[in-house]
Chains A and B, each alone.
Chain A
Amino acid sequence: MIPAKFEYHAPSTLRQAVMTLRSYGGEARVLAGGMSLVPMMKLRLANLEAVVDLGRIEGLAGIDHTAGGGLVIGPMTTHYQIESSDVVQRVAPVLAEAASRVGDVQVRNRGTIGGSVAHADPAADLAAAVLVLEATFSIVGGPRRRTVRADKMFVDAYTSALREGEIIADVRVPLPAPRSGWSYKKIANNASRFAVVGIAVLLSSEENGICTRARVAITGAGPVPVRARATEQFLIRKELTPSNIAKAAARAAAGIEFLGDHHASPEYREHLTEEITKRALTEACRRIT
């Protein structure tokens, strides 16, 4: 399988990349790790006039620990760099875990956080993690630099909030609250290892076990990775008991238009969403330190 012809550009600055992208007026795409774009081009699902490869721009891969304790992650940082980073494991272990569950070794060596977010696959692992971390994305290429919150980033299946000519310049992860616990659990499609349903959880509680903050995100279940707001709201100011966790998990499916395909029916995805949410909440609760 060979892609259709295209023009290849490998600019050395983000500014040049934006200019080149704009000059094609929507007929060019950004190439990050290529783990989704290259297969789409081979299958001719994407026929492009040009590809703008970010791989030659210095400084786009890397993880910085900010003075405020959060993280700034370059868009070209690979899943492997994220999963193996000590600072990510310490500050945002849910992100390290989600990155470690993407695809396989070869995919994690090339695939990037910026590429994953921009591609907006309905079953992306990292989507669930950035949603519970309330990460933000700095975006360049429009009239001015703008910031998009994770819960505004995933608009529809394979559609992110990026507009024509825009590129993610960095991913910012705020410092999580003290006394928090996390979990990322997924049932994976055995062939592609994409999530049939994946659940990320970040919980905080007081010393008496009362939940002060709950964030739950679901990937793979519907057309867009989303926060499970009904589950989160149920848990706030409640004691994190098995019974409350079960009641909260039973609300996880609210509002989701479940996907059905040969991997799982909508009913099965709904069942998985509630069950995996229960398990992830239980694990996160146990991890609160």
Chain B
Amino acid sequence: MKIDVTINGISCSDDVEPRTLLVHYIREDRALTGTHIGCETSQCGACTVVVDGLAVKSCTMFAVQADGTQVETIEGVATDEVLHPVQEAFWQEHGLQCGYCTPGMVMTLKQVLQRNPHPTEADIRRGIAGNLCRCTGYQNIVASAMRAAATLRGEKG
């Protein structure tokens, strides 16, 4: 089936089988391998991308369902060599160890912070409930999110 998807601002037209999962389309057809596959059972959130402004697990959506949508992946988050405030905060706060969960964490947090610019730590923990970190570096991930929220509010970090 033919689908038209805008990925990170670039229009893409591709022919996909209906059973192609969005994550496989992104990684294999579009060669954007920053979106990771962790559990493949909709639990871990490593495959999180933003579709029409909403964080979704791309292993639990067919590519055909994304026809006509705007998809943002981790590759589209930084602009020209400048990290997005969420990415910058992960760097500053050492919000990653192995880094496998990081793209999904960043994509989820971008949307969570958009919805709630003044989160508490509990809000952040609830916000990333669908993203697992096997290094269990949650303390620093939460600290990164709190710093990113402050930066996005225009407060100096």
Can you list 28 pairs linking A and B with CB atoms under 8 Å apart? A1-B41, A2-B20, A2-B24, A5-B17, A5-B19, A31-B65, A34-B61, A34-B62, A38-B21, A38-B61, A39-B41, A39-B42, A42-B21, A42-B40, A42-B41, A42-B59, A51-B18, A53-B65, A80-B54, A104-B45, A105-B111, A105-B129, A106-B55, A106-B56, A106-B130, A109-B56, A110-B54, A110-B56
The answer for the CA separation of A80 and B24 in the assembled complex, in Å, is 26
Residue of A nearest to B37 (CB): A1
Contact present for B60 and A2 (CB under 8 Å): no
Is B43 interfacial (CB 8 A cutoff)? yes
Chain B 45-60 near chain A by CB (<8 Å), digits 1 or 0: 1001000001111011
A80 to B65, CA, bound (A): 19
Q: Give which listed residue, B18, B48, B59, B131, contacts A7 with CB less than 8 A.
A: B18
Chain B residue numbers with a CB within 8 Å of A55 are: 65
Cβ-defined contact, B17 with A10, below 8 A = no
Report which A residues bind B (CB closer than 8 A). 1-8, 10, 31, 34-35, 38-39, 41-43, 51, 53, 55, 80, 103-107, 109-110, 191-193
Per the bound structure, the CA–CA distance linking A39 and B21 in Å amounts to 11
Q: In the assembled complex, how far is the CB of residue A204 from the closest CB belonging to chain B, in whole angstroms?
A: 31
State A106–B58 Cα separation when bound (angstroms): 10
Q: Is the CB of A1 within 8 A of B40?
A: yes
B residues 86-109 near A (Cβ < 8 Å) are: 108
Chain B residues lying within 8 Å of A34, measured Cβ to Cβ, are 60-62, 65
Q: Please report the C-alpha to C-alpha distance between residue A41 and residue B60 in the assembled complex, in whole angstroms.
A: 10
Please indicate the chain B residues that have their CB under 8 angstroms from the CB of A191 in the complex: 43
Beyond A38-B61, A42-B40, is A8–B55 a contact (Cβ under 8 Å)? no
Contacts of A51 in B (CB 8 A): 18
Give chain A nearest CB distance to B20 CB in angstroms: 8
- Tally the A-B contacts, defined by beta carbons under 8 Å: 79
Who on chain A is nearest to B68 by CB? A56
Chain B residues with Cβ below 8 Å from A8 are 1, 18, 62, 64
B57 closest partner in A (C-beta): A106
A7: B residues at CB distance < 8 A: 18
A34 vs B64: C-alpha distance when bound (angstroms): 13
**Residue among A8, A104, A192 with max Cβ neighbours from chain B (10 Å):** A104
Kindly list 6 other residue pairs between chains A and B, CB separation below 8 angstroms, not including A43-B41, A103-B130, A105-B108.
A4-B19, A5-B18, A6-B19, A106-B55, A107-B42, A109-B54
Kindly identify which residue among A4, A104, A110, A192 contacts B61, using a CB–CB cutoff of 8 Å.
A110
